[in-house]
C-alpha cells in the first residue's frame, strides 16, 4: 500500500511510514538565492539537418563557477561549475557551461525550457532565471501550467547515493497547501509537496529508483497540462 505524507511550509523532514528502511524527503537549505540572476535569448539560428545554435545572454550569474554555499559537499556536484539546464519536451536535461551551443531538434514541436543551475544542479527559481519557448510545427499554448522534471538524473555512485537532489521547475503555476501541489512518488512512497523549493532524498535502496512527479489540483486530481506527469528511473550503485 502506498504511503502519503503531506509537506507543510516548514523546514521539516518528511518520512515514509514504512517500518523498513525509511525514505525521507527534506527541504534543502543554504543555497545562495541569486535574486538578480537573469537569462535571456540572444539568438536562435537554424543550420543544417535541424541543428540549431542557441545563444543566451546571462547576467549576475557566472557560468562555470562553483556555487559557494554550505551544501555542495552533500550532493552530487559538477566540477565544471554552474551551468544551464536545457530541457526539450520535458526530457532529461543537457547541461551547458557556456552561453552558446548547438542542439539537433526534431521537425515536430520542441518545447524548450532553459534555466540557470547551481553547480550541484539546483535550479535558480526567480522570474528571470528561465526561458520557455518552442520551435517546430504543431505548437502548443505556452500559457499552460507546466511542471518540468529536473533532478535526480542518471546513475549515482559512492557517497553521491546518500543524498539525491529532488528538483523540478514550475511555469505559470504555483503550489500551496490550499491550491495546486506536486505529488512525488519515490518507488512506492508518496510525498505531497506544497512549497516550490529544492529537496533531497535519503534512505534510498541501491538499484533502480522509480520517480514520478505529478502536478495535482486542490482536489488531488491530475492537472490537465502538457508533460504531466513526469517519470524517470535512476540507478544507485
pLDDT digits (tens, 9 = 90+) for 170-203: 999 999 999 999 999 999 999 999 999 999 999 9
Confidence band for 19, pLDDT divided at 50, 70 and 90 = very low
Residue ranges, comma separated, of all CATH 2.60.40.10 domains in the chain are: 34-142
- Across the range 156-167, mean pLDDT stands at 96
CATH class of the domain whose range is 1-30+155-237: mainly beta
Using the predicted structure, report yes or no on whether residue 2 has a pLDDT greater than 90.
no
Average pLDDT score over the chain: 92
Q: What span, in angstroms and rounded, lies between the C-alpha atoms of 61 and 67?
A: 10
Q: Which fold has domain 34-142?
A: Immunoglobulin-like (2.60.40)
Strands, E assignment, 105-177: 110-117, 130-135, 146-151, 155-156, 164-171
pTM metric for this prediction: 0.91
Neighbour-count burial of 17, counting CB atoms closer than 10 A to its CB (0-12 exposed, 13-18 middle, 19+ buried): exposed
Amino acid at each position: 500500500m502506498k504511503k502519503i505524507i503531506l509537506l507543510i511550509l516548514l523546514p521539516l523532514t518528511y518520512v515514509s511510514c514504512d517500518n523498513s528502511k525509511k525514505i525521507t524527503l527534506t527541504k534543502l537549505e543554504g543555497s545562495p538565492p541569486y535574486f538578480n540572476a537573469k537569462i535571456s535569448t540572444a539568438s536562435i539560428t537554424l543550420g543544417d539537418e535541424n541543428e540549431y545554435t542557441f545563444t543566451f545572454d546571462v547576467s549576475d550569474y557566472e557560468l562555470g563557477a562553483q556555487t559557494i554555499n554550505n551544501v555542495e559537499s552533500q550532493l552530487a556536484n559538477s566540477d565544471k561549475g554552474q551551468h544551464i539546464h536545457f530541457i526539450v519536451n520535458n526530457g532529461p536535461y543537457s547541461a551547458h557551461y557556456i552561453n552558446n551551443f548547438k542542439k539537433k531538434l526534431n521537425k515536430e514541436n520542441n518545447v524548450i525550457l532553459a534555466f540557470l543551475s547551481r553547480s550541484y544542479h539546483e535550479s535558480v527559481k526567480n522570474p528571470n532565471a528561465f526561458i520557455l519557448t518552442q520551435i517546430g510545427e504543431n505548437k502548443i499554448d505556452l500559457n499552460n501550467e507546466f511542471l518540468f522534471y529536473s533532478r535526480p538524473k542518471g546513475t549515482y555512485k559512492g557517497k553521491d547515493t546518500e543524498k539525491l537532489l529532488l528538483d523540478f521547475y514550475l511555469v505559470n503555476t504555483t503550489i500551496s497547501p490550499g491550491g495546486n501541489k506536486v505529488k512525488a512518488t519515490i518507488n512506492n512512497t508518496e510525498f505531497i509537496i506544497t512549497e516550490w523549493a529544492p529537496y533531497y532524498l535519503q534512505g534510498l535502496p541501491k538499484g533502480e529508483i522509480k520517480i514520478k512527479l505529478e502536478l495535482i489540483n486542490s482536489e488531488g486530481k491530475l492537472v490537465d497540462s502538457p508533460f504531466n506527469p513526469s517519470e524517470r528511473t535512476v540507478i544507485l550503485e
